[in-house]
């Protein structure tokens, strides 16, 4: 008899058993889809746009601040400062403005005496039209300077002699009179001498002096010489100055 339960095919081995994990859990694989190419381009375009927008905003802000600062600088430059327009200083006690006080000074140039003037009167005259005066007055036929502000002053004189005196040395004295009723007295003096043997050039000498004096209001100063005819009256040769310290 023919056995119908047998086949010519060889028996097949059983399927392999999947490996087991030590913790007993099985990984669950979730199928995912890769992002499309169009979606990646959109994200890239968005990022590039944000960077460009930030760059434009930064440049625009910088330009705006630059114009703003230049405008403010020009506005402040065009506005005058009160301290540059005038020189008054504030009086904090009275709440008013008063001008800065001017220093008293006098720079005098000698005035040549006229032909009708007695040459040996002794006091030099000063040319007011060619001299500088501030808070000091010229009195007594242009021979005395009157102090109007009390204080310490630098007093100087320069007297140049072109002729000698055979009996006395050439002298220059600064005379002080405290008031009209007081007697004057010398407070400064200087001497010089001429060499009568040198005849190849003009014979001259200069008596110069300078002191710091404390003067009161109403004091009067003058320059005395023994003979005004011996003085050299060339411009700048004989001067008299008083400067408040």
- Structure confidence at residue 107 (pLDDT): 94
Among 102, 156, 110, 160, CA closest to 130: 110
Q: Report d(CA 109, CA 235) in Å as an integer.
A: 7
Q: Residue for token digits 């040459």?
A: 119
* Domain assignment of residue 12, yes or no: no
Q: Is the dihedral of CA 118, 124, 127, 130 positive or negative?
A: positive
- The pLDDT profile of the chain, 245 residues, written as one tens digit per residue, is 455 545 555 555 666 666 655 555 555 555 555 556 666 778 888 888 888 888 888 888 778 877 777 777 676 666 554 444 444 444 545 545 556 678 899 999 998 877 656 555 689 999 888 889 999 999 877 889 999 999 999 999 999 999 888 888 899 999 999 988 889 999 999 999 887 665 556 678 999 999 999 999 999 999 999 889 899 999 889 999 999 99
- Structure confidence at residue 85 (pLDDT): 44
Among 164, 182, 147, CA closest to 225: 164
What's the structural domain count of the chain? 2
* Domain assignment of residue 195, yes or no: yes
Same domain, 177 and 77: no
- Structure confidence at residue 217 (pLDDT): 94
DSSP string, 9-74: SPPPPPPPPPPPPTTS---------PPPHHHHHHHHHHHHHHHHHHHHHHHHHHHHHHHHHHHHHH
* Domain assignment of residue 181, yes or no: yes
Domain assignment of residue 73, given as a range: 45-87
Same domain, 229 and 133: yes
Same domain, 113 and 223: yes
Q: Report d(CA 147, CA 103) in Å as an integer.
A: 12
- Structure confidence at residue 68 (pLDDT): 75
Same domain, 82 and 169: no
Q: Residue for token digits 């859990």?
A: 25
* Domain assignment of residue 11, yes or no: no
- Residue 231: which CATH number? 2.60.120.40
- Structure confidence at residue 216 (pLDDT): 94
- Structure confidence at residue 87 (pLDDT): 46
- Structure confidence at residue 86 (pLDDT): 43
Which residues neighbour 144 within 8 Å (Cβ) at sequence distance 6 or greater?
123, 138, 177, 220, 221, 222
Among 214, 232, 212, CA closest to 158: 232
- Structure confidence at residue 207 (pLDDT): 94
- Structure confidence at residue 26 (pLDDT): 53
* Domain assignment of residue 14, yes or no: no
Beta strands in the chain (DSSP E): 88-91, 96-99, 105-111, 125-134, 136-139, 144-147, 151-161, 170-177, 185-192, 205-215, 220-225, 239-244
Q: Report d(CA 223, CA 111) in Å as an integer.
A: 12
- Structure confidence at residue 44 (pLDDT): 83
Q: How far is CA 226 from CA 123, 142, 164, in A?
A: 9, 18, 11
Same domain, 117 and 237: yes
Which of 31, 55, 87 lies at the terminal end of a domain, its last residue? 87
Phi, psi of 78, deg, nearest 5? -75, -20
Same domain, 127 and 77: no
- Structure confidence at residue 210 (pLDDT): 94
Which of 87, 117, 143 lies at the terminal end of a domain, its last residue? 87
């Amino acid at each position: 008899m023919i056995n119908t339960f047998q086949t010519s095919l060889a028996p097949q081995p059983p399927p392999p058993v999947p490996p087991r994990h030590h913790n007993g859990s099985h990984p669950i694989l979730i199928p995912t889809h890769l992002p499309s190419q169009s979606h990646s381009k959109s994200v890239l375009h968005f990022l590039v746009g944000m960077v460009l927008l930030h760059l434009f905003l930064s440049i625009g802000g910088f330009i705006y601040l630059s114009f703003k600062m230049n405008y403010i600088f020009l506005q402040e430059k065009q506005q005058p400062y009160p301290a540059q327009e005038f020189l008054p200083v504030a009086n904090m006690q009275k709440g008013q403005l008063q001008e800065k006080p001017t220093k008293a000074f006098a720079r005098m140039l000698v005035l040549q005496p006229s032909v009708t003037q007695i040459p040996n009167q002794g006091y030099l005259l000063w040319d007011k039209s060619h001299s500088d005066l501030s808070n000091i007055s010229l009195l007594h036929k242009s021979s005395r300077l009157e102090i109007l502000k009390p204080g310490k002053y630098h007093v100087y004189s320069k007297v140049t002699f072109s002729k000698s005196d055979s009996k006395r040395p050439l002298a220059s004295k600064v005379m002080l009179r405290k008031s009209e009723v007081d007697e004057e007295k010398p407070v400064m003096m200087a001497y010089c001498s001429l060499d009568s043997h040198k005849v190849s050039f003009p014979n001259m000498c200069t008596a110069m002096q300078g002191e710091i004096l404390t003067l009161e209001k109403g004091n009067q100063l003058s320059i005395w010489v023994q003979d005004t005819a011996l003085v050299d009256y060339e411009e700048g040769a004989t001067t008299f100055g008083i400067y408040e310290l």
